[in-house]
Amino acid sequence: MTAKPNIRDLSLEEIETLIASLGKEKYRARQIMKWLYSGGATSFSEMTTLSREFRTRMEGIARIIEPAIDLAQTARDGTKKVLFRLEDGLLIESVLIPGRNHWTACISTQAGCAMGCRFCLTGRQGLKRNLLPSEIAGQMTMLRRHTPEGPRIKNIVLMGMGEPLANYDHTLKAIRMLTSDHGLGFSNRKVTVSTCGIVPRIAQLGKEACVNLAISLNAPDDRRRNQLMPVNRKYPLADLLRACNDYPMPGRRMLTFEYILMAGVNDSPTDAEQLARLLRGLRCKLNLIAFNAFPGSDYRTPTPEAISAFQQILLDRHYTAILRASHGRDILAACGQLSGEAPSGRGFPPQE
């Protein structure tokens, strides 16, 4: 017997096709989408603009499943890490990062990660599985409805556990759910996809979704990037930068390059000068991130003096180089620290 589809995995067009089998009009699919994403419906019985007979028939052919909030932790700086439990029992994490008058949600696209970046705790677990569209977009629907910060989330970064472009089809579908007028309605200018550099998928994303692109760079040459990020052996810097140069960034938007500074590895003045030469001609900004240590890590955080000197060299060469504060380090919520493991201690209980 075929399992009933989770309607949250379906696009508007797919829901139209599904309800056509019941002889229903296409516009009913838009009503269902509104209930799912604006109305917060968790069952068809709640969709009171649909007839009782239609709701009963929908229950017979589809179901509604979302990730469940298992635990939430709050760091000293106000950052929140939310642990989600999926239908099969796997755990993933999202992070809520405070801004001046808003919050940014950092969400996951995979349980674990296969990329094997040596400075990343998530990568040490390996890949457990890709997340479904409902599990990617579902992090946002749950954060919106079940956290106090939810209504003030203005930005979404697909920068949590996993490599978004290695789960391309499901990530693209989730992006459309997040940005569609029939979905959560976020502007595509407020959505950023972060990738370690899967070159063919970068080109594809540029054609199929108009979202911001962030590249996890972390080294100014192929030798060191090969060591830190195995993906570079398949897609070296020349290919990566060519794809970045071709990526469409309308208006005043810029590419973002993320550069994690690791003491004695990639943080010298010479490295900064080499990085400036490497990115010459690209309309971009740099986010400099001091390495966030985690248990068993092989790397160290640079000194404040080394970080400042590195940043100044880039500024002197007319780059926008922002030193990103590390949020949530005391609860392992900072960049590269997500593990999807339940900690000891208490958070708030699962939602009703």
- pLDDT tens for 154-182 read 999 999 999 999 999 999 999 999 999 99
Mean pLDDT, the chain, as a whole number? 92
Please state the rounded mean pLDDT for residues 194-209.
Answer: 96
Domain spans in the chain, listed from the N-terminal domain onward: 7-61, 68-331
Q: Which of 117, 196, 284, 335 is catalytic?
A: 335
Architecture per CATH, 68-331? Alpha-Beta Barrel (3.20)
Q: Please tell me whether residue 119 adopts helix, strand or coil conformation.
A: coil
Strands 80-85 and 68-74: antiparallel
CATH 3.20.20.220 is the classification of domain 7-61: no
Instruction: Give the number of other Cβ atoms within 10 Å of residue 83's Cβ.
Output: 22
List the beta strands (DSSP E) in 196-279: 212-216, 255-261
Lowest mean per-residue pLDDT among 77-91, 298-312, 334-348: 334-348
pLDDT at 348 over 60: no
| pLDDT higher than threshold 70 for residue 349 | no
Whether 244 sits among the annotated catalytic residues: the reply is: no
Q: Which one of the listed residues 93, 135, 163, 258 is annotated catalytic?
A: 93
The answer to whether the beta carbons of residues 70 and 343 sit under 8 Å apart is no
Position 325 scores a pLDDT of 74
* pLDDT surpasses 80 at 9: yes
What's the length of the chain? 352
Is residue 19 helix, strand or coil? helix
Q: What pLDDT is attached to residue 329?
A: 59
Q: In what order do the strands lie in the sheet with 68-74?
A: 68-74, 80-85, 91-98, 103-107, 153-158, 191-195, 212-216, 255-261, 284-290, 320-324
Residue 253, helix vs strand vs coil: coil
Cα dist from 346 to 48, 72, 82, whole Å: 37, 8, 12
Q: Which two tokens stand for residue 323?
A: 């030193």
Q: For residue 114, which amino acid is it?
A: A
Burial 125-143, CB ≥16 within 10 A → b, else e: bebbebbbbbbbbbbbbbb
110 near 130, Cβ under 8 Å?
Answer: yes
Residue 305 Cα distances to 201, 273, 285, angstroms:
38, 16, 21
pLDDT at 289 over 80: yes
Structure confidence by residue, pLDDT tens digits, 12-62: 999 999 999 899 999 999 999 999 999 999 999 999 999 999 999 999 999
**Model confidence over 77-134: pLDDT tens digits?**
899 999 999 999 999 999 999 988 999 999 999 999 999 999 988 888 899 999 999 9
**How do strand 255-261 and strand 127-130 relate by DSSP bridges?**
unpaired
Residues 164 and 173: beta-carbon distance below 8 Å:
no
Instruction: Look up 335 and say whether it is catalytic.
Output: yes
